[in-house]
Structure 1
Amino acid sequence: MPHAAVPSRQGVARLNKFSIWFPPVFYLLLAAVFLYRTTFVGDVFLPAGLLGYIAPYQTAIHAHSLPPWNPLRWDGIAQFYPWRLFAARTVRSGLLPLWNPYQFCGAPFVANSQSAVFYPPNLLFDPLPTTIAFNLNALLHLTLCGWFTYLFLKQLRCSTLSSLLGGCVYAYSAWQVQWLQLPTFLATSCWFPLVLRQLYRLLRTHSAPGTSLTSAGASIGLMLLAGHLQIAFYGLLAASLWSLALLIRTANERKALGRSIALSAGAFLLGGLLCAVQLLPTLELSRLSHRATQATTAGYQEYVGYALQPYELTTLFLPNLTGNDYDPQNHYWGFYLQSAANALVAVRHNAAETALYVGILPLLLAALAVYRALQRQSLNYRALFFVLLAVLALLMALGTPLDALFYFGIPGFGASGSPARILVLWALAIACLAAFGLDYLLESPPNKRALLALFAVLLAGFGLCLFLVSQALSVPLPGFDLLHVPTFSQALSRIPYDWVRLGAGFILAAVLFWQAHRRSKSVSFTLAVSCLAITIADLFWTGIPINPVARPAWVYPRTPGIRYLQAHLGHERIFPINRFWSLDHPPPAVLPPNGAMVYQLRDVQGYDSLFPGQLKAYADQFARPNRFGVSDASPPEVGNMVFFQNPNAPLLPTTSARYAVALPTDNPAFANVTLPPSTPPLSLSSNDLTLYLLSSALPRARFLSDNPKLLNPPVTYLQDLPTRVVLRVTALTSGLLILADENYPGWEATVDKQPVPILTPPASQGSLFRAVRLAPGNHIVAFQFQPSSFNIGLYLSLTGLLILCWESSKNLFRSRKTM
């Protein structure tokens, strides 16, 4: 060979660097194209257009058309945007956002796991504008999702192109895309493949055990810190089953088995240490929260009722069969069945809860992997694991008795969301099987008989799914009219593009499979690239329209009414009068829960997956009967939302709400929603909302003298920060200093720098709040939030970080020593 043809050492190094950096750059470019509206056009990756349905934003958001109402996607703008903005503002001020003073009359913030304050990628939100940080957050996690899957599949000795394919399938599966605007879902699930990879390296390779253990523990810790504990639980479930499978492979070697058990336990323990700063406050709140209930048979039936419905399996082939939120000719009509008055009623489902689609070609490749994995002569234990994982995920998503093992066996599991969210493991399993299937196709393609059998089985499955749809739609049920459920023929006729996609997918797959059967080695690369390109085109065609974007000006605009409140409210609260919510259409609401956080206005209401149960009991005293005749502060559709519905309730003065906020009086829903206070509305030049001055409201900080004949002296704020409130008062007699902020474990009080106990005020003053007893004289009273759960968690997490740093320094020393 000529000398010039021999690669130099420098050239080999350059090629290796290229091969290392090509996958993340590839996935970054894919994410940029998928998010092209936010990457290149200047929109923001937030469903802010949904605010246009709600007062007071209706007067500020003008658009030709707003995105269809979606109650789950609403959380992206109504929960995650206010939370990320509040956390960033607090960190910039030099404080940790342990407490949120703006919702629920004050509530723990870090203890809400979805705040994800200590998740490292969320540091993006601290220096950057929040809207830009949301754009970058989605871009980053889509990239990581694909890249980590690629790394895992390469570790399992898949080819480069097969690994790239698997990463694309997992990152752009319907499950990931449907949940993309709720950032904790992807931020948690993107770590699954890396966790599995690091556990494999720990238990099956001969790499340094210390390094492998710390890297596995770090990936588990990051998955748990990302914020969504239900999804993280599924990640831990997959990791535990994967570890068990790897341990079984070494069961015949006692010494190796004992070592592997110790290493895997160490990795999970280290992951738990790293996330303790987040996990311990969350566990404390969950024990005291509105969800702290016992698992019951009735609760289980309600839980599995929201599962994936058998007819929805058809979306494996036709992703828009049950409609969507972007095509006006094919609105979403998916439903599940609920018992009411001894009859079944159709209730709106949500496409995100039933997201099955992984692409036509990946499904065929996964089927090929299943076929090969079950052959005795070529039994592949890794493929078999993912076959079983996919089956487990699908069975649990369908609400089979398997769910009962978790619902009744794991404390708190019953308070999680839909059982169909385990479809995240379905997406991961199919992504891995598709990669295995592509390698099988290129290395030893099936014969004609196997190919025909494979396609016949899939077509038979598709026919069965269509039969299930026809049965589900054959008899109209109560609720069909409200949801505009089509007939079977109408449902099939509304999705012409899905039929084109399905037909093209099967035809292209048949051509590629046949070419692989007849191929020479020279066309293997072309076949693999073709499979990758077809998969990307299919998933992008399906996924890009799903998530609406918005103009930056639509993100919580400041209306005249908002400006008035900001100028006049001071340290007190607002009392928005809301009563109804809806899963089917935009609800009649004004300044809905969490929106006040954006404007730094203190609010009585709130919306969170975890909040103290005592707040719910307090808010129920302001409730009006709902459509079922039950007085409940939470609307029937959303148990995590708390409204204060009656501004004339006896306890109104205790809320310290200076203004009631209502719908504009010309809104058709005003009379049905708003129970006006006894005072007349303020005359404002704006028509975005209606304001009432609540003259009976007590000050948020007030002194209650033991001598009722004396006037209570005013209380002065020296500091009013999220985790620290300092007050000055001159008391002529002894009495109680009351701060109408929710009391919660971790709040401590000092009077003139001396610790004092926090007392419960009389019921007439709001027993939910904090009080300290004062003697006559001048006093400075400080309330400081220092929860022991956070402090203990911080020490544990620092211990985990020290272990990581120690192991990293050892590795650095070893590498320098060998140079």
Structure 2
Amino acid sequence: MPMLPRLSERNPRDLLIAICLALGLTMWFWLDLWLGGGLIGGDVYSYYLPQKAFYADSLKQGLWPFWNPLVGHGYPLVGESQTGVFYPPTWLLYRLLDLNTAYNLNHLFHYVLAFLATVALARDLNISLRGAILTGLIFVYGWFPPRCCWEWAIITGAYLPLNLWLLRRYYLRQEPLYLWGLATGTGLQLLAGHYNLAFITLLGLLAWVVYESLAPRAMGREGVPARFSLLPFFAILLGVGLASIQLLPTWELKRESQRETQGNTRIPAFDPAVGHLPPRSLSQVIAPWLWYGDMSALNQKLNSPHRLSHPAETNPVEAHLYFSLTGLLLAGMGGWSLTRRASADEQRLRMHAAIGILAVVYATGWLLPITAHLPGFSYFRGPGRFTVLTALAVGLWAARGWDVLAGKLAPALRNGIWAVLFVAMVLEFSWVSQRVTYTYMVPETPVDHRKESVIGTMLGDQSPPARLFAPGANLPTLTGVAATPVYLGLGPQAYFDPLLTLPLGDTSVPFGAAPSLEQIAWLRRAGVTHILGFAPPAPDRPELRLIWSGYDPVLNPAWGRREPLYLSILSETRGRAAWQNLDGISSQAEGIRWQTYRPDLVELVVSTPRENVLILTDLLDPNWQLYVNGEPRNTLPIEGMFRGAELSPGQSFVQWRYEPWGIFIGLWLSVAGITIWLLWGTRSLFSSISPLLFTSR
């Protein structure tokens, strides 16, 4: 195969073609998002949009939202990570645009970035432009669209090919500017949150560094000097430093989360095998029609016992792996061509194949008994996500297959045959992405009507703040009203401890039926003020009084419900703050006046005629510091979940301030990282352009 010119030596028209195709593909796959529609289903409305709504509202009020008080009884927003509080594109979009537009543009931008980065990587592996475009198509649109129910998938996944390309450019040019870019890419990928694909990216980078250091010498060629092999590790470490303001709060939350269950047998142990790829489902690669149909039937099929499958649960999205039949045939041709003596770039394609095969083996869950004891592997669920490396490897092999095929075709036929193959892949991926997904596009999205929400209007500005008990965990907070129960991937232990959460007994969560007396008692202790349900309260429940029924422009369409909702007020509840006498008897909130309720500050002026305990039914967290009349005090744990303050008779000014040490220390580490990053970037940029400026003619 003839050597192709390197990326920098090619016609700029190649870049223009790649950009146009990157944009065009987003219009084909995500046209409704370009037209102002939105995504619905999966975790979009139960997880990401509620987070982003609170985030956007806080930014527009001039606040940095470190704590989210709306979901349940509150949780550390930065530590949970999936909001991406400090990720620059997220901050910019949600600061300037409306909620739905920001979400859509973030989604589309990262699809474009992922495609362009994949094309660039393939080009620097001596693959033609047409082949590189096929690589981008297989990797981006074969793997990511079924996973659009996870916002983080494309946002963090776009940096996998980008960081690999920057590392490849460094080895091609041995210029530190590309390592500076690698540090930037690593930092941005970590700031975006979730970290699963960032961890997989780091493993891919490690494999490439090891290959470039050892493989050439093993084949009798001159290898990369030792100092050049070590510098990528410095770049990655600098990227970690840049993201310290995000990483440290997550580490802090993990120590107090459901992932750390030592000593608490009531919380189920975290199982990293959940979301694996059952080995027998690999036949979807060659026979998709046997697998891609009804999602419920597919889920049941994937979880049916089989002697080769891991016993942990999985689902169709986690277990999805498809390259298109066209892409698979081309990859087979490319692999066959690599069985002969290969050039250095072709050896790298073999290396990618080895990584892809190992990723599939890991995705089955077979290696978890070993890797569970290694750093990082036990932190994440979803071993099936490792197939992102497989998708990239197959995409590169398919591109190689096209280049081999193109070399045998008459020049007059190449464009036409390539176009047929490209269109065939696009149609295959379109068909699959509509069948393996929990998320769908709609022309009009419920979040556009947040200001019209009846629930938000009735309860949003209430003082003291209201707290709903409502179906669809997290989703009702789109109205701006706090709601329980919660849905968190990484959250405080209290939300997962059966002794502290709503007792279910023999019934499920009672959104369509009357809650039991035991459940009513819990709701009162938890400070729930209102109950939103799908049925009116039972006549024999005097503690619930119906105050509204009807259609809410946000909640009804988000739930796909045309029938009315029913809002009731709960009597004799603690509400958001109440007294508990030292003998343990709770009383109502007389003498409690709310002054401030912000994500980082709660202020109350209270009066009591005797020694008393003030209960705040927000989540107990060590980063909330109590001050009484300006003096720091220790927060008193209430029932293992809430905050308390012991007060003397008379009037007191009570404050809880959110002072997260992880964010403060992480900030200084990130500032140090940014300083090094700026100095290194300036020096690298000057070194790169100085020959152009000072070389004599």
TM over 0.5: yes
Q: Where do residues 574-613 of structure 1 align in structure 2 (5 Å cutoff)? A: 574-576=467-469, 590-613=470-493
Q: Displacement of 1:306 after TM fit?
A: 5.1
Q: Which residue of 2 aligns with 1:151?
A: 120
Q: Displacement of 1:351 after TM fit?
A: 2.5
Q: Displacement of 1:168 after TM fit?
A: 1.3
Q: Secondary structure of the equivalent of 1:716? A: strand
Q: Secondary structure of the equivalent of 1:592? A: coil
Q: Distance in 2 between matches of 1:142 and 1:768?
A: 41
How has the CA–CA distance of structure 1 residues 85 and 741 changed in structure 2, closer, same or farther, with 3 Å as cutoff? same
Query: 1:689 and 2:565 equivalent?
Result: yes
Q: Distance in 2 between matches of 1:600 and 1:283?
A: 28
Q: Distance in 1 between matches of 2:540 and 2:668?
A: 50
Q: Which residue of 1 aligns with 2:190?
A: 224
Query: 1:538 and 2:507 equivalent?
Result: no
Cα deviations across residues 678-722 of structure 1 (Å, max 9, x unaligned)?
524425453723344322212422344669999975121111001
Q: Secondary structure of the equivalent of 2:293? A: coil
Cα deviations across residues 7-42 of structure 1 (Å, max 9, x unaligned)?
xxxxxx9995433333223211221222122324x4
**Equivalent residue for 1:39, pick from 20, 34, 40:** 34
Deviates more, 1:434-443 or 1:370-379: 370-379
Q: Where do residues 216-295 of structure 1 align in structure 2 (5 Å cutoff)? A: 216-249=182-215, 256-293=224-261
Q: Which residue of 1 aligns with 2:292?
A: 323
**Equivalent residue for 2:339, pick from 358, 361, 374:** 374
Q: Where does structure 1 lack aligned partners over 5 or more consecutive residues?
A: 1-12, 48-72, 444-515, 577-589, 636-643
Amino acid at match of 1:807: W
How has the CA–CA distance of structure 1 residues 333 and 148 changed in structure 2, closer, same or farther, with 3 Å as cutoff? same
How has the CA–CA distance of structure 1 residues 744 and 151 changed in structure 2, closer, same or farther, with 3 Å as cutoff? same
Q: Secondary structure of the equivalent of 2:288? A: coil
The question of whether the paired residues in 2 share the 8 Å contact of 1:574 and 1:661 is answered with no
The question of whether the paired residues in 1 share the 8 Å contact of 2:132 and 2:399 is answered with yes
Cα deviations across residues 389-408 of structure 1 (Å, max 9, x unaligned)?
121122122232x2322223
Q: Where do residues 23-38 of structure 1 align in structure 2 (5 Å cutoff)? A: 23-38=18-33
**Equivalent residue for 1:790, pick from 650, 663, 677:** 663
Q: Secondary structure of the equivalent of 1:730? A: strand
Amino acid at match of 2:535: P
Q: Where does structure 2 lack aligned partners over 5 or more consecutive residues?
A: 1-7, 551-562
Deviates more, 1:566-575 or 1:233-242: 566-575
Q: Secondary structure of the equivalent of 1:269? A: helix
Q: Displacement of 1:363 after TM fit?
A: 0.9
**Equivalent residue for 1:391, pick from 350, 357, 360:** 357
Q: Distance in 1 between matches of 2:586 and 2:243?
A: 54
Cα deviations across residues 638-691 of structure 1 (Å, max 9, x unaligned)?
xxxxxx9866454443211122333214xxxx9xxx998552442545372334
Q: Which residue of 1 aligns with 2:505?
A: 625
**Equivalent residue for 1:723, pick from 576, 600, 622:** 600
The question of whether the paired residues in 1 share the 8 Å contact of 2:635 and 2:645 is answered with yes
Q: Displacement of 1:147 after TM fit?
A: 0.4
How has the CA–CA distance of structure 1 residues 621 and 743 changed in structure 2, closer, same or farther, with 3 Å as cutoff? closer
Q: Distance in 2 between matches of 1:28 and 1:712?
A: 57
Q: Displacement of 1:612 after TM fit?
A: 0.6
Q: Distance in 1 between matches of 2:162 and 2:627?
A: 47
Cα deviations across residues 304-339 of structure 1 (Å, max 9, x unaligned)?
47532333222212334223359xxx9746523467
Q: Displacement of 1:532 after TM fit?
A: 3.3
The question of whether the paired residues in 2 share the 8 Å contact of 1:290 and 1:616 is answered with yes
TM-score (structure 1 length as normaliser): 0.73
How has the CA–CA distance of structure 1 residues 320 and 745 changed in structure 2, closer, same or farther, with 3 Å as cutoff? farther
Q: Displacement of 1:415 after TM fit?
A: 5.6
Q: Displacement of 1:260 after TM fit?
A: 2.8
Amino acid at match of 1:88: A
Cα deviations across residues 601-629 of structure 1 (Å, max 9, x unaligned)?
122311110111023337645312368xx
Q: Secondary structure of the equivalent of 1:770? A: strand
Query: 1:128 and 2:97 equivalent?
Result: yes
How has the CA–CA distance of structure 1 residues 683 and 725 changed in structure 2, closer, same or farther, with 3 Å as cutoff? closer
Amino acid at match of 1:205: L
Q: Displacement of 1:272 after TM fit?
A: 0.8
Q: Distance in 2 between matches of 1:356 and 1:132?
A: 30
Q: Distance in 2 between matches of 1:793 and 1:137?
A: 25
Q: Distance in 1 between matches of 2:108 and 2:531?
A: 40
Amino acid at match of 1:745: P
How has the CA–CA distance of structure 1 residues 338 and 347 changed in structure 2, closer, same or farther, with 3 Å as cutoff? farther
Q: Displacement of 1:244 after TM fit?
A: 1.4
Q: Which residue of 1 aligns with 2:614?
A: 737
Amino acid at match of 2:660: P
Amino acid at match of 2:190: L
Q: Displacement of 1:554 after TM fit?
A: 3.4
Cα deviations across residues 776-797 of structure 1 (Å, max 9, x unaligned)?
4433222111211111112222
Q: How many aligned positions are there?
A: 658
Q: Distance in 2 between matches of 1:318 and 1:368?
A: 19
How has the CA–CA distance of structure 1 residues 647 and 660 changed in structure 2, closer, same or farther, with 3 Å as cutoff? farther
Q: Distance in 2 between matches of 1:103 and 1:270?
A: 34
**Equivalent residue for 2:61, pick from 90, 93, 96:** 93
The question of whether the paired residues in 2 share the 8 Å contact of 1:85 and 1:598 is answered with yes
The question of whether the paired residues in 2 share the 8 Å contact of 1:250 and 1:257 is answered with no
How has the CA–CA distance of structure 1 residues 714 and 699 changed in structure 2, closer, same or farther, with 3 Å as cutoff? farther
Q: Distance in 2 between matches of 1:530 and 1:710?
A: 74
Amino acid at match of 2:526: T
Q: Displacement of 1:223 after TM fit?
A: 1.9
Query: 1:566 and 2:459 equivalent?
Result: yes
The question of whether the paired residues in 2 share the 8 Å contact of 1:369 and 1:436 is answered with yes
Query: 1:118 and 2:77 equivalent?
Result: no
**Equivalent residue for 1:162, pick from 109, 112, 131:** 131
Q: Which residue of 1 aligns with 2:375?
A: 410
How has the CA–CA distance of structure 1 residues 306 and 684 changed in structure 2, closer, same or farther, with 3 Å as cutoff? closer
Q: Distance in 1 between matches of 2:404 and 2:368?
A: 34
Q: Which residue of 1 aligns with 2:556?
A: none
Q: Displacement of 1:111 after TM fit?
A: 0.7
Q: Where do residues 341-380 of structure 1 align in structure 2 (5 Å cutoff)? A: 350-376=315-341, 380=346
Aligned-residue sequence identity (percent) comes to 25
Q: Distance in 1 between matches of 2:100 and 2:620?
A: 33
Amino acid at match of 1:435: A
The question of whether the paired residues in 1 share the 8 Å contact of 2:532 and 2:568 is answered with yes
Q: Distance in 2 between matches of 1:677 and 1:622?
A: 18
How has the CA–CA distance of structure 1 residues 148 and 130 changed in structure 2, closer, same or farther, with 3 Å as cutoff? same
Q: Displacement of 1:733 after TM fit?
A: 3.6
How has the CA–CA distance of structure 1 residues 300 and 317 changed in structure 2, closer, same or farther, with 3 Å as cutoff? farther
Q: Distance in 1 between matches of 2:25 and 2:259?
A: 40
How has the CA–CA distance of structure 1 residues 242 and 811 changed in structure 2, closer, same or farther, with 3 Å as cutoff? closer
Q: Displacement of 1:289 after TM fit?
A: 0.7
Q: Displacement of 1:600 after TM fit?
A: 1.5
Q: Secondary structure of the equivalent of 1:354? A: coil
Amino acid at match of 1:550: V
Q: Distance in 2 between matches of 1:33 and 1:356?
A: 21
Amino acid at match of 2:124: Q
Q: Displacement of 1:201 after TM fit?
A: 2.5
Q: Which residue of 2 aligns with 1:428?
A: 392
Q: Displacement of 1:81 after TM fit?
A: 0.9
Q: Distance in 1 between matches of 2:459 and 2:299?
A: 41
Q: Which residue of 1 aligns with 2:444?
A: 552
Q: Secondary structure of the equivalent of 1:434? A: helix
Amino acid at match of 1:391: I
Amino acid at match of 1:410: P
